[in-house]
Amino acid sequence: TELLREEFAFDGHLENGVQDLAMGKYIFSLKTLQFETFCRAITEKFSDLHWDQKLLCDLHRLINQHSCRRISLSLSVIELNEQMELQCGAPPDGGAGECVCDAEALEDSGGARITPDSSELDMEDCDSLISERMLSVCSDPQRAPCGSSWALALYGDECFSPDVLEYAQKLSSHSESPTLEDKSQELHQQLIIESRNLKKTRTFYHKLIQQERKNKGSDMKVMVSKVKQQFDELRTKVEFLQSVKKYLQVLSVDQWGLALSLLPSLAACGAAPLELQHSEDPTLLHFLCEQRRGKGCPLVAATARGLIAYLYARNAHAEGFVQQFFYTYRYFCTPEELLQFLMDKFNSTLGANEDPSSDKAKVYQRTLDLLHFWIEDAQLVDFSSSSSLLQTLDAFLTAESFQWRVSRVVEPQTVQCKEKVFSIAAALPRPCYASLMSNSSLRSEERRPFSQSEHTPLHIAQQLTLLEQEIFHDCHPVHFLNSRAHGVTDNSGNISRCASPASSPLEGSGLLVSDVSGPRGPLQRLLTHADCVTNWVSAELVTCDSVKAQTALLARFLAVGKYCYETRNFATAMQILSGLENVIVRQLPAWKQLSLKVCEALEELRAVQVFLKSDNLCLMEGEKDRRRPTLPDALILALHIQQLEIGAFTLTSGAYKWPKLRNIARVVSQIHAFQERLYPYPPDPELQAYLRGRLARFGRCDIPLLASDNHINFSQMPAARRIHDTLRRVKASFQ
């Protein structure tokens, strides 16, 4: 609370001793979360405040007694760059103490903060509640943030709009020959000014809303409308400036690139002192020149070593190649081979005190950038605490020429047992803890049929979304690669889509040189959860005690599924559809009791399923500039990637087809895009505990066996029904 009071105690804020205590209790409840999730949870909960990365790091270290590894990594790389004096530029004078607030972190949160009791949030308003994940907003303005990497992988050189490019071109136009450093300094100052204006306007807007609720009047409504319009304009401007900043950061990375003619020489040399020469080697790197069409010379095919060397090309980062490479390099080389290449290139540049424009300086700086991107993106995938790769990297970074202890930087936190992962939703408690039920009442609650629960379809959909979101955020894009090798197929059975490890290898599997997923990886857990939800839906329906209850439950599940797909939770929507499409469930007599309007929801769900299967990038249509919280159907996405993996990856010469690898990278990059936005629903621990209990009970049960024990699941003739009732009464009389 002392840290919070020092940071936010202004204009009477946090001075009553109640708000800071409540915030402190909430933050302490997040102590088991990893740092990145910890930051997202706090910025989402208190989006009306600006949270500096250093403050978040201090809070996380205070409650967990360990260092903030991701931020330390970024700062350490920056310090190394400054030591070699090869940085493009430093933060502008007087700006070191000013942190430019992320545009998304300053968005309007009035809807949720002013009406906390309202559980129904329009998706238009949800966009203003979600903070965009940018890891280096307040650090070096020249350092490219990891958050923009997926966009580069997906959109390539079309990632930035023409307006952004034009604005960046006009920056520092008063100078005769403006540099990237000059442009970054000017943009940094503009962001500071506009962010301050946005913060003041938002604070004023919230105060006006509170006054309007107390003193209702037409004059006050007009004032609120005008301030809201002004706030939207400022927010749009800050978002635009943030896009320009990202573009300049991309340019700052690409300025350390080499000419294409130097890449064959770079690929051939080892750790010996670097001596680059201009040459061409089509067997190493093959380009298809389309200068007549104005498309330059895109990379068509390359050997494994040629693809790694292309990481040092001048426009590799702006084209999206760097991030596409880190998504797909496991198809042609191991992490150990990649790390060895980078270490050799770094060692080959040591001992040369040359100007920053030399080739050695460029190779040195690009190597640092590549290590930075790799560790930031795949820390828990490639550099786990038990991996030999981490030990190799640690030995390299702690060598005599590179005094930097990496063990405290990249070693991930101790991961809890995956079967008992702490829930993000459970870590975000509601203000009143007294409402939590005891263990005994929870057990009795779990036995209560779902058809008798009083929760609305909207509330159920929101809590199912939070449960799905928790598991989905454990996945990395590379976990979706080579899924066929682990038995992920499109079969009609509910449990399970993952074949047993003892089964024979599937055709087309074993594509990866280095597999990171395994038979019990995050994707498999996500698919298992999907199967459990599907089975649970079917089980709840076939265990209803009457046709009336069954009809009502059918309508409720359809309403839940409809709300899920309307809020872009396609995962839960498709799970509910699969449960309703179960062969036993489709024969239930309750379907005849549903109204035509209710049945239309089923047709809508089927149409959504067709839409999801139609195109592997369908969920990104129209989402380039306005990204909303999204949960994809994991199985459909994995099958799309399997489709792209069909066919040879190499030419007859042995060179790898880069367009094929690039298409796979573009599809898996959606995972990071979807994980950037969180659903802002308030968690309900009671309902979530109840749902978990029902999923544990019915997630793997035998649906035909359950259905056979319930006579209402089968249509009967009147005479047969009378005989059945008579036998039931006779049986009851002997008990």
* Average pLDDT over every residue of 507-532: 78
Is 217's pLDDT higher than 80? no
Residue 587 or 176, more confident: 587
Residues 586, 613: one domain?
yes
According to the per-residue pLDDT averaged within each range, which of 74-78, 136-140, 691-695 is highest?
691-695
Look at residues 678, 674, 250 and name the one whose alpha carbon lies nearest to residue 477: 674
Residues 507, 583: one domain?
yes
pLDDT at position 673: 93
Q: Which of 225, 254, 283 is a domain's end point?
A: 254
Name the residue type at position 663: N
Assess if residue 43 is contained within a domain.
yes
Distance from C-alpha of 244 to C-alpha of 249, rounded to nearest angstrom: 9
Residue 213 or 122, more confident: 213
Residues 198, 331: one domain?
no
Residues 204, 295: one domain?
no
pLDDT at position 386: 74
* Average pLDDT over every residue of 5-9: 64
Element (H, E) at 302: strand 299-302
Residues 352, 454: one domain?
no
| Local confidence band at 354 (pLDDT 50, 70, 90 cut-offs) | low
At 726, list the tokens. 């008579």
pLDDT at position 61: 76
Give, in order, the Cα–Cα distances in Å from 284 to each of 2, 261, 315, 528.
59, 11, 18, 43
Residues 108, 55: one domain?
yes
Q: Which residues contact 559 (CB under 8 A, 6 or more apart)?
A: 457, 601
Assess if residue 90 is contained within a domain.
yes
Count of structural domains within the chain: 3
For the chain, give the longest Cα–Cα distance: 102
Assess if residue 727 is contained within a domain.
no
* Average pLDDT over every residue of 357-380: 90
Distance from C-alpha of 647 to C-alpha of 590, rounded to nearest angstrom: 47
Assess if residue 542 is contained within a domain.
yes
pLDDT at position 273: 85
Output b/e per residue, 484-519; b: 16+ Cβ within 10 A.
bbbbbbeeeebebbbbeeeeeeeeebebbebbbbee
pLDDT at position 188: 93
Could you read off the pLDDT of 167-200 as tens digits, one per residue?
999 998 888 888 899 999 999 999 999 999 999 9
pLDDT at position 622: 76
Could you read off the pLDDT of 259-300 as tens digits, one per residue?
999 999 999 988 888 889 999 999 999 988 765 445 568 899
Output b/e per residue, 122-155; b: 16+ Cβ within 10 A.
eeeebbbbbbbbbbbbbbbbbbbbbbbbbbbbbe
Assess if residue 210 is contained within a domain.
yes
Under 8 Å between Cβ of 247 and 165: yes
Q: Which of 219, 254, 289 is a domain's end point?
A: 254
Residue 109 or 659, more confident: 659
pLDDT at position 476: 94
* Average pLDDT over every residue of 573-596: 93
pLDDT at position 514: 66
Under 8 Å between Cβ of 74 and 35: no
Could you read off the pLDDT of 70-126 as tens digits, one per residue?
444 444 444 444 443 333 343 333 333 344 444 444 443 333 333 333 333 333 333
At 162, list the tokens. 């023409």
Least confident of 21-25, 711-715, 721-725: 721-725
Kindly report the CA angle at 51 between 626 and 76, in degrees rounded to 5?
95
Report the mean per-residue pLDDT for the chain: 78
Segments forming the whole domain that contains residue 225: 2-254
- Please tell me whether the peptide bond between 496 and the residue prior to it is cis, using omega within 30 degrees of 0: yes
Is 457's pLDDT higher than 60? yes
Element (H, E) at 627: none
pLDDT at position 290: 61
According to the per-residue pLDDT averaged within each range, which of 100-109, 196-205, 406-415, 556-565 is highest?
556-565
pLDDT at position 714: 74
Distance from C-alpha of 142 to C-alpha of 252, rounded to nearest angstrom: 6
Residues 513, 570: one domain?
yes
* Average pLDDT over every residue of 361-377: 92
Is 425's pLDDT higher than 50? no
Q: Tokens 């931020």 appear where? A: 71
Distance from C-alpha of 161 to C-alpha of 371, rounded to nearest angstrom: 28
| Local confidence band at 718 (pLDDT 50, 70, 90 cut-offs) | low
Residues 143, 268: one domain?
no
Distance from C-alpha of 191 to C-alpha of 241, rounded to nearest angstrom: 7
Assess if residue 633 is contained within a domain.
yes
Under 8 Å between Cβ of 106 and 201: no
Residues 140, 270: one domain?
no
Least confident of 402-411, 474-483, 553-562, 712-721: 402-411
CATH code at position 400: 1.20.870.10
Give, in order, the Cα–Cα distances in Å from 504 to each of 133, 385, 431.
42, 32, 52
SS3 content of the chain, % helix, strand, coil (to 5): 60, 0, 40
Residues 99, 198: one domain?
yes
Residues 335, 354: one domain?
yes
pLDDT at position 377: 87
pLDDT at position 417: 40
Q: Residue 12, SS3?
A: coil
Residue 174 or 653, more confident: 653
Under 8 Å between Cβ of 59 and 3: yes
Least confident of 394-408, 416-430, 612-626, 653-667: 416-430
Assess if residue 503 is contained within a domain.
yes
Distance from C-alpha of 56 to C-alpha of 61, rounded to nearest angstrom: 8
* Distance from the first to the final alpha carbon of the chain: 64
Distance from C-alpha of 146 to C-alpha of 253, rounded to nearest angstrom: 12
Residues 189, 338: one domain?
no
DSSP for residue 631: B
For 399-454, give the DSSP string: STT-----HHHHPPP-PPPGGGPPPTTTTS--S-GGGPPPHHHHHHHHHS-GGG--
At 408, list the tokens. 């405290």
Is 459's pLDDT higher than 90? yes
| Local confidence band at 19 (pLDDT 50, 70, 90 cut-offs) | confident
pLDDT at position 172: 86
Is 687's pLDDT higher than 90? yes
Kindly report the CA angle at 555 between 551 and 560, in degrees rounded to 5?
145
Is 460's pLDDT higher than 80? yes
Look at residues 289, 286, 664 and name the one whose alpha carbon lies nearest to residue 483: 664
Q: Residue 302 CB: number of other CB atoms within 10 A?
A: 26
Least confident of 139-153, 239-253, 385-399, 611-625: 139-153
Give, in order, the Cα–Cα distances in Å from 358 to each of 178, 275, 277, 279.
20, 11, 13, 18
CATH code at position 562: 1.10.840.10
Assess if residue 731 is contained within a domain.
no
| Local confidence band at 46 (pLDDT 50, 70, 90 cut-offs) | confident
| Local confidence band at 722 (pLDDT 50, 70, 90 cut-offs) | low
Q: Which of 204, 229, 254 is a domain's end point?
A: 254
At 18, list the tokens. 């109640």
Name the residue type at position 235: R
